[in-house]
């Protein structure tokens, strides 16, 4: 957030292009054509004549790019690589050499430390999921059902899936109970890491 305050005209221009604007009286949500200010003070909205100054334009947080970089960095650019099983990381410079390209080819080049930490956690969750009792690949044996995790409104659940997926990442299980046990063992909150990246 900027420490510098701005006047009403600058605040209106910022609001018009979608920026967030605050004032000591609350968060500015809109200014109508009669120059009435709509302020949310945390509990309710109210309208008031807008003060002439004291506004702060809040810059949005940059969005984290989850997962490995999809385009190789330019020569000389910095990147993060995961160097050990504990999530140890190294900030290094792209030189487009053999080591850089091997790291890139296996998805081990990240733009930010946050993206690399996310990937470490995602890989841990995948591993724990595959280590759950009953976890297996797809079976086309007619005597076997194929149950797997599904994201549903309100959380994770199980579903029957008797058509193989070409890019199997999440395992299949023999019963819905095995799926529910896996969800409870890993926890729905940790499983949510699979939704990004």
Going by pLDDT thresholds of 50, 70 and 90, the confidence category of residue 127 is: very high
Burial of 107 (0-12, 13-18, 19+ CB in 10 A): middle
Pairing relationship of beta strands 20-23 and 78-82 according to DSSP bridges: unpaired
pLDDT of residue 1: 43
pLDDT tens track for 2-35 = 457 888 788 778 777 777 777 776 666 666 555 5
Span 113-139, mean pLDDT? 89
For the stretch 40-58, what's the b/e string if a residue is b when 16 or more beta carbons lie within 10 angstroms of its beta carbon?
eeeeeeeeeebeeeebbbe
- Beta strand segments in 85-146, E: 89-93
- The three-state secondary structure class of 195 is helix
**Tokens matching residue 4:** 């510098």
**Tokens matching residue 184:** 């409870």
DSSP code of residue 75: T
0.95 exceeded by the pTM?
no
For the stretch 173-183, what's the b/e string if a residue is b when 16 or more beta carbons lie within 10 angstroms of its beta carbon?
bbeeebbbebb
Burial of 172 (0-12, 13-18, 19+ CB in 10 A): buried
Q: Identify which has the larger pLDDT, 165 or 49.
A: 49
Phi, psi of 192 (to 5 degrees): -60, -20
Whether 172 has a pLDDT exceeding 90, the answer reads no
pLDDT tens track for 48-99 = 676 777 778 777 666 667 889 999 999 999 999 988 767 789 999 999 999 9
Going by pLDDT thresholds of 50, 70 and 90, the confidence category of residue 36 is: low
pLDDT of residue 183: 92
Cα separation, 75 vs 77, whole angstroms: 6
pLDDT of residue 90: 92
Nearest-5° angle of CA 177, CA 122, CA 59?
125
């Amino acid at each position: 957030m900027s420490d510098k305050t701005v006047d009403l005209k600058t605040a209106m221009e910022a609001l018009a292009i979608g920026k967030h604007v605050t004032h000591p009286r609350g968060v500015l949500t809109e200014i109508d054509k009669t120059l009435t200010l709509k302020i949310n003070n945390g509990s309710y909205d109210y309208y008031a004549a807008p003060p002439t100054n004291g506004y702060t334009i809040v810059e949005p947080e940059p969005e984290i790019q989850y997962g490995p970089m999809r385009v190789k960095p330019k020569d000389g650019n910095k990147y993060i690589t995961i160097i050990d099983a504990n999530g140890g990381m190294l900030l290094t410079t792209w030189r487009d050499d053999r080591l850089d390209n091997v790291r890139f080819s296996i998805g081990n080049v990240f733009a930010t430390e946050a993206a690399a930490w996310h990937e470490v956690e995602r890989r841990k969750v995948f591993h724990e999921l595959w280590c759950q009792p009953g976890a297996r690949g797809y079976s086309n044996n007619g005597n076997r059902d194929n149950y797997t995790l599904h994201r549903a409104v309100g959380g994770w659940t199980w579903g029957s899936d008797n058509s193989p997926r070409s890019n199997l990442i999440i395992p299949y299980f023999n019963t819905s109970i095995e799926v529910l046990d896996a969800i409870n063992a890993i926890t729905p909150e940790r499983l949510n890491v699979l939704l990004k990246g």
